[in-house]
């Protein structure tokens, strides 16, 4: 049976651009929570924060779960980011293209199948709460 990670991420900026943070929630393929974290990432836009959340999750997987899973299924409430990562939408901004390249390199390091799926915000409450808690100074 294939073992994969279920990763829900969110990124947000207050002011766009403004103070920004990421939220990451990771479970195994059976739905058992492995980790959740959020952190401030400085001043940036919502889109950059969404990408940084994916990068933060991939970095965490590489450092903490290397080789333990056959892949990862990401769930985000940003249809733009999902469609750009899946190659369905063009990326016009160079700074976003650089983030996508970084994500693709991290995917290669992890190995296995990494996929990106859009979910409604209502299904991404944990990651969203981690973003807001980080911005509110309730978690580091």
Condensed to tens digits (0 to 9), the pLDDT of residues 7-53 reads: 999 999 999 899 999 999 999 999 999 999 999 999 999 999 999 99
pTM for the whole thing? 0.97
Q: What are the residues whose beta carbons fall under 8 Å from the beta carbon of 109, sequence distance 6 or more?
A: 62
Do 49 and 80 contact (CB within 8 A), yes or no? no
The tokens of 23 are what?
Answer: 């939220």
- Counting every residue written for the chain, the total comes to 140
Q: What is the tens place of the pLDDT at every residue in 78-114?
A: 999 999 999 999 999 999 999 999 999 999 999 889 9
Cβ neighbors of 125 (< 8 A, separation 6 or more) are none
Which token pair is 120?
Answer: 């409604």
**Alpha-helical runs (H) found in the chain:** 46-64, 79-85, 94-110, 125-135
Residues 6+ apart with CB under 8 A from 120: 77
Q: Which domains does the chain have, with CATH numbers?
A: 4-135 (3.30.420.10)
């Amino acid at each position: 049976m294939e073992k994969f990670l279920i990763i829900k991420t969110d990124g947000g900026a207050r002011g766009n651009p403004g103070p920004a943070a990421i939220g990451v929630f990771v479970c195994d393929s059976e739905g058992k929570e492995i980790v959740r974290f959020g952190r401030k990432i400085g001043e940036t836009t919502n889109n950059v924060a969404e990408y940084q959340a994916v990068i933060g999750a991939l970095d965490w997987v590489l450092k903490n779960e290397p080789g333990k899973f056959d892949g990862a299924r990401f769930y985000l409430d940003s249809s733009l980011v999902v469609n750009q990562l899946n190659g369905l939408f063009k990326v016009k901004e160079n700074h976003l293209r650089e983030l996508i390249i970084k994500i693709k390199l991290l995917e290669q390091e992890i190995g296995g199948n990494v996929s990106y799926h859009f979910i409604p915000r209502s299904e991404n409450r944990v990651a969203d709460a981690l973003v807001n808690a980080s911005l509110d100074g309730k978690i580091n």
